[in-house]
Structure formats: C-alpha cells, structure tokens
Amino acid sequence: MYRIFSPVGGSHHRTGRAVQKGFATPAGSGSRTLFGDLAISVRPVVLVVLLALTMTACGGGEGGGGGAQPAGSSADYASGEAAASSGTVEEAEAAPAGAEASASAGAAAGAQGGAEGGDRAALPGFDGEKIVKTAQLGVRVEDVRESASWALEVADRFGGSVTNSRVDGGDGTVSADLVLSVPSPEFEAALDELRGLGEVTTDNVGGEDVTEEFVDLRSRERNLLAAEEGLLRLYDEVESVDDALSIERELTDLREQVEVVQGRIQYLEDRTTSSRIALEIQPVEKLAQAPPAWEPARAVSTAWNASLAFLGTVAGAVISVVVFGWWLAPALVAAAILWRRRMRHAGGPTTGP
C-alpha cells in the first residue's frame, strides 16, 4: 500500500501497480534499485507532458497567443529533453512517441486558446460582459432615522441586503451611513428610488469592466484542469515510486493554482452579479434666526426684572443674618450691661478732705 494524490478528495490509499509487481533488485546490481528489469522509464514522458501542458497554460493565459506555436518545435524540444534525461537507448527511443502525443495535445489546446480570444462566448460559464458597478449617494432629509429605515426597505424590495449600517447621533445631530448590495440588473432602479429620499448632495456612479480578466481566468482554469487530468492519467500508469512521488508533487502544485484561480473567479462572479451603493444620509441644515430688533418696552421690562432680582438678593441676605444671628443676642445684652456698670463706676462723685 502507498499513498497517492487525489485532487478532489485529498488523498487516499490504494494498491498501485508498482506495489502489485513489487520492487525486485537483482543480486549484485548496484546501479538501479527500482525495477532493474524495466526497459522503459516514464520520467521522460512526465517531462514531455509537463512541458507541453505548461506551454499551453501560458499561451491560454495570455489570450490565446500560445496557440500559434508550431507543434513540431515542441515535439523536437521535448524529444531532446527526453533523450537527455534517459539513461538507456530504449528510453531515448520511447521519448519521441510520448513527445508526439503531447505535442498533438498541446497543439489542440493551443488552438482552443486562440479561438477563445476571438469568441468569448465559447467559454463555459461566460454569459456576457462582466461589469462591477458601484455608486456613492448623499442626501439631506428631514428625518434621518425614518429615511434610513426606508432605504433598508428599498434594498429588500429589490432583492438586496445591507452589508453595513451606522447611525451616529453625536453633537445633537443624527446622520446615517449605509452600504447596500442589490442585484446588478436592479442597480439603476434601486438608485433612482434612493435619490427620492431628499435633496441629493452627492451622486457618483462608476463601473469597472473585468471581462478580460474573467476570460483569462476561465482559460487558465480550463488549461490547468486539463494538465491535472493528464497527470492523473499518467499517474495511473507509472510503475516507479520515484515517478509517482514526482507526479504527486506536480499535482499538488497544480491543485493550488487551480484553487487560486477558482477563488478569483468566484470573487468576480459575486462582485458582478451584485452592485454596491454607499448611501450617506444627513439632516437638513436649519437656518440661524436673526436677532430681534431693539424695543424700548423690552428694555424697560428687562431692567425692571433685573432690579427685582437685586432687591431679592439683598432681602435674602438680611433675612439670613437675622435668622442665623439670634444666638448673638444674649452675648450682646451681657456686654452692654457690663459696659454700663463700668461707665457708672468711672464717672461717680468724689469727696473732699
């Protein structure tokens, strides 16, 4: 049993051909340890397939330009690589056959890549131009909270949702910032209804055409999947553990590239199927009232009220002294009595000799 690569379900175990045959090493042989009796190695074939598929993927990613490369040059180059990496005459003779097959596959894939540049509709999953629509809308209204609730109803009525919502009530004024996501076909209709909330202060609508990037990603995905499928077929035919591990590493790298490309495709799909509207709701600015003109009657009234306030303050102070000073009365009475007695003794009559 040995572990093999599965691009869809991860990895599992199965009995491969190499295990079924076993790894016999002839006695006294020190040059090869795996399949000493094997006449043809698959390593050159692996190199040929990888080379052809890599060239095809690069050509498709550039808009189909790779399809113009002659198949014969790819075959000659692959044959040279196979012959150089082979250690036996049989391997060198087997390489051209694999190169011819891979070159044919590369030419076919290249032709498909060239065709997709002229006919985008031929790509699977392509349903027209891909436009990312966005809008920034600012309005002034009488009631901010009520208008924010109505904007949420508009998004829900058109099959959209609210991705962000913030209501700020600082400094005595209320404002709201909303980010609405609506289906792209309903973008203009929803935007028109939101403009009716109040006085429009900001109205910016933009779009980004990502059609070319989407087409390139689809082409790369198709070529990478074709390369992965070719390696999987080759993987089932290998009889060497070294070759199996080499192919498994290549499959792992291909699967990572496929997932990156598919993730970007999904992101573009989401951004083009739904559009975003950034809505800012501000209250209506109230005009400052001018100061009233001078009136004599108002001046007299203000002065009279000020005098009454002053008299009230003085009266309150006197009352406070009287109320809080009652305990001083006994001391003042005693002090007065003592003072009078002293004055009486000091001013009394004097007798002669």
- Asked which of 244, 263, 283 is the last residue of a domain, the reply is 283
Residue percentage of the chain with pLDDT more than 90: 34
- Asked which of 251, 272, 293 is the last residue of a domain, the reply is 272
**57-71, 161-175, 186-200, 334-348: which has the minimum mean pLDDT?**
57-71
Mean pLDDT of 228-238: 92
What is the count of structural domains for the chain? 2
Check whether residue 228 and residue 190 sit in a common domain: no
Residue 110 to residue 98: CA distance in whole angstroms: 18
Q: What is the pLDDT of residue 44?
A: 53
Q: What is the pLDDT of residue 327?
A: 74
Q: Which tokens go with 190? A: 């929803």
State which residues form the domain around 15: 2-24+32-124+212-272
Question: Would the CA dihedral through 333, 335, 340, 341 be positive or negative?
Answer: positive
Q: What is the pLDDT of residue 299?
A: 82
Percentages helix, strand, coil for the chain, rounded to the nearest 5? 60, 15, 25
The predicted-structure confidence for 234-275, as pLDDT tens digits, reads as follows: 999 988 899 999 999 999 999 999 999 999 999 999 988 999
Q: What is the pLDDT of residue 14?
A: 35
Does the global pTM surpass 0.75? no
Q: What is the pLDDT of residue 329?
A: 74
Average pLDDT, the chain: 71
Check whether residue 219 and residue 188 sit in a common domain: no
Check whether residue 7 and residue 66 sit in a common domain: yes
Check whether residue 56 and residue 83 sit in a common domain: yes
Q: What are the phi and psi torsion angles at 65 (to 5°)?
A: -70, -25
Q: What is the pLDDT of residue 49?
A: 53
Check whether residue 158 and residue 266 sit in a common domain: no
**86-90, 132-136, 188-192: which has the minimum mean pLDDT?**
86-90
- State which H helix or E strand residue 134 sits in: strand 131-141
In a domain, 351, yes or no: no
Residue 45 to residue 81: CA distance in whole angstroms: 10
Check whether residue 120 and residue 228 sit in a common domain: yes
Residue 54 to residue 47: CA distance in whole angstroms: 10
Q: Is it the case that residue 7 has pLDDT exceeding 50?
A: no
Check whether residue 253 and residue 110 sit in a common domain: yes
Q: How many CB atoms lie within 10 A of CB 259?
A: 12
Question: Would the CA dihedral through 230, 235, 237, 243 be positive or negative?
Answer: positive
Check whether residue 204 and residue 246 sit in a common domain: no
CA distances from 26 to 20, 36, 299 (A): 18, 7, 124
**3-12, 53-62, 161-170: which has the minimum mean pLDDT?**
3-12
Check whether residue 240 and residue 145 sit in a common domain: no
Check whether residue 136 and residue 199 sit in a common domain: yes
Residue 272 to residue 259: CA distance in whole angstroms: 20
Check whether residue 172 and residue 265 sit in a common domain: no
In a domain, 244, yes or no: yes
Check whether residue 6 and residue 93 sit in a common domain: yes
Categorize the per-residue pLDDT at 156 as very low, low, confident or very high, splitting at 50, 70 and 90.
very high
Q: What is the pLDDT of residue 287?
A: 62
Q: What is the pLDDT of residue 124?
A: 52
Q: What is the pLDDT of residue 129?
A: 85
CA distances from 223 to 116, 170, 211, 244, 307 (A): 12, 56, 18, 22, 96
| Top-confidence residue, 219 or 24 | 219
Q: What is the pLDDT of residue 349?
A: 53
